Structure 1
Amino acid sequence: MGRILAIDFGKKRTGIAVTDELQIIASGLTTVTTDNLIDFLKEYISKENVELFIIGKPKQLNNEDSESEALILPFLEKLTKEIPSIPFQRVDERFTSKMAFQTMIDSGLTKKQRQNKSLIDEISATIILQSYLYSK
């Protein structure tokens, strides 16, 4: 089995999380600048066996797509073109940023550490991935 890699896509930064090879545990991997996301993914999959991308789908409370979806759709087209060998699935990402922030508080991080937006993005990607794993 290959790893599953989750993407919490953002305008400036994108959080990345990945499973172990048995697809049991979701772990935060890193946060990359969105401009470098495709290059990062190509490099990562050249070293690791990835069989699926999970990409957050931002929704509003009324279940309509959020404004961020307009930024994600062009990325999905580029991803499909640049890395056609790995399929992707979408997962509802509502409240993941709030859950990530609460996770940071529960973990005992200081206020200064909780202001690290890159860490929030990475934790959000992990929550998206864990949500997918639970649903399997």
Structure 2
Amino acid sequence: MRLTPKKRVVAIDYGTKRIGMAQSDPLWLFAQPVGTFDRAGLSKALGTMIQSDDIALVIVGYPLSENGEKNAMTGVIDRFLETLHEEFPQLRIETLDEHHSSKDARSILVASGKSRKVRQQKGRVDSAAACILLREYLENQENER
């Protein structure tokens, strides 16, 4: 059976200092880190992907508390989502609860055997957190099929 390529899913882990981004492969099997950006760099990267007609969906991490309630950061994300919709009205954007993504990313980096110096490089946790968000989304899609 031959699989038909799809457009990619992009995941964003928004932070006040850095924004991590990951993308799926065209078959929605794997999450790959794209990098870490400031707000202007993220806009440029998304713009390039949109021009190449490569994005099916953008997933943005939405930081709810352990009991599912909004917190101070969800307000920041809400404003970011509004800006993203205004800047890229053609994008389909969804949110996904991310309350453990950065913690999980740190654990994965520790388990990977990378040195403490490498793990603490700016952006490494942010892009890893975006990969975790994307992996969770892709697994949910696979389970729904």
Match of 1:20 among 15, 18, 25: 25
Separation (CA, whole Å) in 2 of partners of 1:4 and 1:14: 16
Aligned to 1:5: 10
Give matches, 1:63-74, under 5 Å.
Answer: 63-74=68-79
Cα RMSD (Å): 1.3
Q: Which blocks of at least 5 consecutive residues in structure 2 are unaligned?
A: 1-5
Give the letter aligned to residue 19 of structure 2: T
TM superposition shift of 1:59: 1.1
- Secondary structure of the 1:68 match is helix
Aligned to 1:81: 86
Aligned to 2:113: 108
Aligned to 1:97: 102
Q: Which blocks of at least 5 consecutive residues in structure 1 are unaligned?
A: none
- Secondary structure of the 2:23 match is strand
TM superposition shift of 1:43: 2.1
TM superposition shift of 1:48: 5.1
Give the letter aligned to residue 132 of structure 2: I
How many residue pairs align between the two structures? Answer: 136
Of 30-39 and 67-76, deviating more is 30-39
Aligned to 2:62: 57
TM superposition shift of 1:95: 1.0
Separation (CA, whole Å) in 2 of partners of 1:34 and 1:96: 20
Q: Identity over the aligned pairs, expressed in percent?
A: 34
When normalised by structure 1's length, the TM-score is 0.93
Separation (CA, whole Å) in 2 of partners of 1:126 and 1:17: 5
- Secondary structure of the 2:123 match is helix
Distance 1:132 1:54, change over 3 A: same
Give the letter aligned to residue 128 of structure 1: L
